Amino acid sequence: MNTLHLRSTDYFTEHDALDVPTRSITSPLVLDIVRDEPGFHALEPAWDKLLETCATTAPFMRWDWVSLWWEENREDFTLAIAVLRNSRHEPVAIAPFVIGHDLQKARRPLRQLAFIGGIGQIKLQRFDFLVPQGLEEHFTPLLCEAFRELRPQWDTVRLTCIPEESPNLPIIHEALKKCGVGAAIFNRLESRCIAPLPVNWEGYENLHSKNWRSKIRRRWKAMSNGHEARTLLGGQDKPAAESMKMLATLHANRWPVGVSEFLHERAQRFHLKLAERWLPDGRAILPYIEIDGQPAGVMYGFHEGDSFYQYQMGWDPAFTKISMGKLAMMWCVQSAMKLGVVTYDMLPGDFAYKAQWCNAIRYTVDVETFHPFSPAALIFRTLRQLKRLTTREKSEAVSTPDESES
The answer to whether residue 393 sits within a structural domain is: no
Do the domain assignments include residue 388? no
- CB proximity list for 362: less than 8 A, separation 6 or greater: 163, 164, 165, 190, 191, 193, 195, 345
**285 and 313 inside one domain:** yes
In a domain, 83, yes or no: yes
Q: How far apart are CA 100 and CA 103, in angstroms?
A: 10
pLDDT band at 397 (very low <50, low <70, confident <90, very high): low
* Residues 169, 226 within the same domain: no
Domain identity same for 97 and 216: no
Domain match, 163 and 207 both: no
149 and 233, same domain (yes or no): no
pLDDT of 256 reads 79
> Does 146 share its domain with 208?
no
Residues 172 and 27 occupy one common structural domain: yes
Domain containing residue 281: CATH number: 3.40.630.30
pLDDT of residue 351: 87
Q: Considering the domain boundaries, does residue 356 fall inside one? A: no
pLDDT of residue 11: 37
Q: Is residue 385 part of a domain?
A: no
- pLDDT value for 6: 57
Say if residue 220 is in the same domain as residue 122: no
Given this model, what pLDDT does residue 390 score? 78
Verify that 108 and 205 share a domain, yes or no.
no
Specify if 359 maps to a domain: no
Spatial separation of the C-alpha atoms in residues 346 and 166, rounded to whole Å: 19
Gap between the Cα atoms of 61 and 131, Å rounded: 12
Residue of higher predicted confidence among 64 and 406: 64
Same domain, 85 and 180: yes
Domain assignment of residue 369, given as a range: 2-189+364-373
- Residues contacting 265, CB < 8 A, separation 6+: none
**357 in a structural domain:** no
DSSP per-residue string spanning 257-274: BTTBGGGSHHHHHHHHHH
CA dist., res. 205 & res. 103, Å (int): 42
Would you state the pLDDT for residue 77? 97
Domains of the chain: total: 2
Instruction: Check whether residue 185 and residue 201 sit in a common domain.
Output: no
Q: Quick check: 16 pLDDT over 50?
A: no
- With respect to residue 351, please indicate whether it lies within any of the assigned structural domains: no
Residues 375-389: what's their mean pLDDT?
92
- Going by pLDDT thresholds of 50, 70 and 90, the confidence category of residue 18 is very low
Q: Do both 183 and 127 map to the same domain?
A: yes
